Amino acid sequence: MRGAWGLTNGAGEVKPGARGVVWFGLAPVPVKVTWVDEGHSWSWKVGPLEMDHIVEPREDGGCRVALTVRGPGVLEDVSAALYGLPAQLFLRNMGRVGGG
């Protein structure tokens, strides 16, 4: 995934109901934000898949970041395998950059 566009409705935060695209390689894929816990977590629908991006504060001042993927049958497993490793690398980099 190279990035996402159009999901904030111009407000800087992901907003419920927002529609946009995510770029997988050279292909734009339509997405829709289905749920938001403002400033923390959100879900989006990508085709038949729903992905939850979860950020939970920790008592030590850090945070725990998780990603869940739900979808029909084997598509869920394949998508988690394909998206899992790049997502881990991206989230680790976000943690390093965000941590200063």
Scanning the structure block, which residue is given the tokens 């879900």? 43
> In which order are the strands placed within the sheet that holds 63-70?
3-5, 19-24, 27-37, 41-46, 49-57, 63-70
Q: How many helices (H) and strands (E) does the chain have?
A: 1, 6
Confidence of residue 10 (pLDDT cuts 50, 70, 90): low
Across 87-98, average pLDDT: 66
- Secondary structure letter of residue 47 according to DSSP: T
What's the pTM? Answer: 0.72
Confidence of residue 100 (pLDDT cuts 50, 70, 90): very low
CA distance 47 to 76: 12
Assess whether pLDDT exceeds 70 at residue 99: no
For all residues of the chain together, what is the average pLDDT? 79
Across 83-91, average pLDDT: 74
What would the pLDDT profile of 12-60 be if each residue is shown by its tens digit?
778 888 888 887 778 888 999 999 988 788 898 988 889 888 888 888 8
